[in-house]
């Protein structure tokens, strides 16, 4: 019997090879797959934000988020809607696959936009534990990956992958450690490092399938240096909504909504 025509041999080969194929899937492939599965032409949500500072003080804010495009070639506008003191403050992020994003902030009270300098991206975003850089969309081609092992997190088996930014990616972080769920390739957790110290931890929870895309509806970012955390809940989450290019420009940013 020729091996190719022997069903048992083929089965054995398949059985033998299957785990090898899974194990052989390198870190980059996992990350590419994770990115592919979250690809959408647009995203919209209404976010509820709670910041818990080191003294236990809690501040609440709300914003709307719209993104056109996906990952490295996307544009997004984030607009605060509450409380009244901050309503209308907005951030426009234009992501590029091959270089750092461009970011502008709009302050309606003085009718001024201002560019967020590259050097300032490591600063906290308006008192939250996210930095300006954390609001950028990452593209898989901006990093180099290596497998760090496997681990279960919150009962979900995950791959643990180390991502190091390439030279073209200007980042405050020396590396990130990403937990990707094996069952749906959704992110479970991201630890961000400066040199060898973990400075921020981003946890995803309440992971749901929305329009075919597995998405963490609750994100919790903890700043280990400041001992504070920010919880962001994504409400009214919608993908592939119809959006126009001209709604993601500086002129649109200046238009108050």
**Surface-to-core class of residue 159, CB atoms within 10 Å of its CB (0-12 exposed, 13-18 middle, 19+ buried):** buried
Q: Give least dist CB 216 to another protein, A.
A: 24
Residues 6+ apart with CB under 8 A from 99: 168, 170
Cβ of residue 81: shortest distance to another protein, in angstroms? 12
Q: Which is nearer to another protein, 3 or 83 (CB)?
A: 83
Residue 236 parent element (H or E): strand 228-239
51, 128 contact by CB (below 8 A)? yes
Minimum CB separation of residue 251 from another protein in Å reads 18
Point out which residues bind another protein (CB under 8 A).
Answer: 54-55, 59, 61, 80, 85-89, 105, 107-110, 112, 114-120, 123-124, 126-127, 132, 225-226
Between 120 and 236, whose beta carbon lies closer to another protein? Answer: 120
CB of 107 to another protein, least distance (A): 6
Q: Which is nearer to another protein, 21 or 107 (CB)?
A: 107
What are the φ and ψ backbone dihedral angles of 112, each rounded to 5 degrees? -135, 140
Shorter beta-carbon distance to another protein: residue 31 or 49: 49
Q: Which of the 8 DSSP states describes residue 131?
A: B
């Amino acid at each position: 019997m020729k091996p190719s025509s022997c069903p048992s041999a083929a089965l054995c080969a398949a059985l033998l090879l299957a785990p090898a194929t899974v194990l052989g899937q390198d870190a980059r492939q996992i990350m590419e797959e994770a990115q592919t599965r979250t690809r959408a032409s647009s995203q919209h949500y209404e976010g509820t934000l709670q910041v818990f500072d080191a003294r236990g003080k809690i501040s609440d804010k709300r914003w709307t988020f719209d993104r056109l495009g996906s990952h490295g070639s996307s544009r997004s506008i984030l607009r605060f809607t509450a409380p009244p003191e901050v309503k209308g403050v907005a951030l426009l992020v234009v992501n590029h696959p091959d270089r750092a994003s461009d970011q502008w902030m709009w302050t309606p009270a003085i009718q001024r936009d201002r560019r967020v300098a590259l050097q300032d991206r490591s600063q906290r975003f308006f008192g939250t534990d996210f930095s300006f850089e954390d609001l950028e969309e990452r593209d898989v081609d901006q990093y180099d990956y290596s497998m760090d092992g496997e681990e279960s997190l919150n009962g979900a088996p995950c791959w643990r992958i180390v991502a190091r930014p390439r030279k073209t990616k200007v980042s405050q972080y020396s590396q990130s450690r990403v937990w990707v769920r094996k069952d749906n390739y959704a992110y479970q957790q991201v630890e961000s490092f400066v040199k060898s110290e973990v400075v921020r931890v981003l946890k995803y929870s309440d992971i749901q399938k929305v329009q075919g895309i597995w998405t963490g509806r609750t994100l919790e970012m903890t700043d280990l240096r400041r001992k504070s955390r920010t919880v962001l809940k994504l409400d009214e989450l919608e993908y592939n909504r119809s959006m126009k290019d001209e709604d993601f420009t500086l002129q649109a940013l200046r238009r108050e909504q």
